[in-house]
Structure 1
Amino acid sequence: MLNNGVKRKTYIYSRVSTYKQKKDLQNQTEMLKNFAFNAGYQINGVYSDVASGISFEKRKHFFELLDEIMAHKVERVIIAHKDRLSRVGFDLFHYFFNRFGTEITVVSEVGNTELDSEEVFDEIVSLLHCYSVKMHIKRNKTKMEVGLDAS
Structure 2
Amino acid sequence: MNRKLVGIREAAEYLGVTPSTLRRWERDGKLFPDERTAGGYRRYDLARLRPDLFPRSVAARKTIAYARVSSHDQRDDLERQKQVLELYCARQGWTFEVVADLGSGMNYHKKGLKRLLNDILADRVGRLVVTHQDRLLRVGAELVFAICEAKQVEVVILNQGEDTTFEEELAQDVREIITVFSARLYGSRSRKNQKLLDGVKRAIEEASS
The amino acid across from 1:10 in the alignment is T
Q: Which residue of 1 aligns with 2:146?
A: 95
- For residues 116-127 of structure 1, what are the structure 2 equivalents within 5 Å? none
For 2:178 and 2:104, how far apart are their aligned partners in 1?
16
The alignment partner of 1:12 has SS state of strand
- Percent identity, please: 28
For 1:136 and 1:53, how far apart are their aligned partners in 2?
10
User: Post-superposition shift, 1:7?
Assistant: 1.5
For normalisation by structure 2, the TM-score amounts to: 0.52
Structure 2 unaligned residues grouped into runs of 5+: 1-53, 183-193
RMSD of equivalent CA atoms = 3.3
Q: Which residue of 1 aligns with 2:116?
A: 65
The amino acid across from 1:130 in the alignment is L
Query: Considering only CA atoms, is the larger Rg found in Structure 1 or Structure 2?
Result: 2
Residues 2 and 72 in structure 1, CA contact (< 8 A), matched pair in contact too:
no
1:49 paired residue among 98, 101, 106: 101
Q: Whose RCO is larger (CA < 8 A, sep 6+)?
A: 1
Count, aligned residues: 128
The alignment partner of 2:159 has SS state of helix
Note if 1:15 corresponds to 2:68.
yes
Note if 1:130 corresponds to 2:170.
yes
The alignment partner of 1:108 has SS state of coil
The amino acid across from 2:132 in the alignment is H
User: Post-superposition shift, 1:134?
Assistant: 1.9
For 1:137 and 1:100, how far apart are their aligned partners in 2?
32
User: Post-superposition shift, 1:67?
Assistant: 1.0
For 2:176 and 2:113, how far apart are their aligned partners in 1?
27
- Runs of at least 4 residues off by over 3 Å: 129-133, 135-139
